[in-house]
Amino acid sequence: MSANSKQEGGSHYAGDYQHWDFVCECLGGRYLEGNLTKYIARWRKKNGLQDIRKALHYLLKIRELFADGDLEAPPIARRTGSVERFCLVNNLGPMEGRVMWLAASWEDGHDLDVLESVLRELEAEADN
């Protein structure tokens, strides 16, 4: 299933050329990782399971663009301190921290598989 053919939490996006397509083409793919991490940072305080599923939806789009050669892995610089600081200041748990780290530092399909695995663990926790 294509990321553009589904939506979590509503039906206000539709079509083959959606807002995230526009932003990725014009501003770069880091928008996707940014939104993925936004939903994980807030899931315990806001929309629970729905936020985790939205993060998984963003991961699906990242995978599609990466597989098509339209998205490269994020640059290595500026990661370690920022991830640790964000998690500490926002009281994020170890699994959320792992998501933040992986979203900021993935390099290949295997890393995206690991990211999905951690997101699925969070999904299972939220679903209970």
Alpha helices in the chain (DSSP H): 19-27, 30-42, 49-67, 80-89, 94-105, 109-127
Per the structure, the complete domain to which residue 60 belongs is given by: 15-127
**Is residue 5 assigned to a domain?**
no
Within-domain flag for 99: yes
Does a structural domain hold residue 1? no
Q: Tell me, yes or no, whether 6 lies in a domain.
A: no
| Residue reference for tokens 């999904």 | 123
Angstrom distance (rounded) from CA 47 to CA 56: 14
pLDDT at residue 85 in the model: 82
pLDDT, position 122? 96
pTM of the model: 0.79
Q: Based on the structure, what is the number of domains in the chain?
A: 1
- At 64-104, the pLDDT tens digits run 999 999 999 887 655 667 788 888 888 889 999 999 899 98
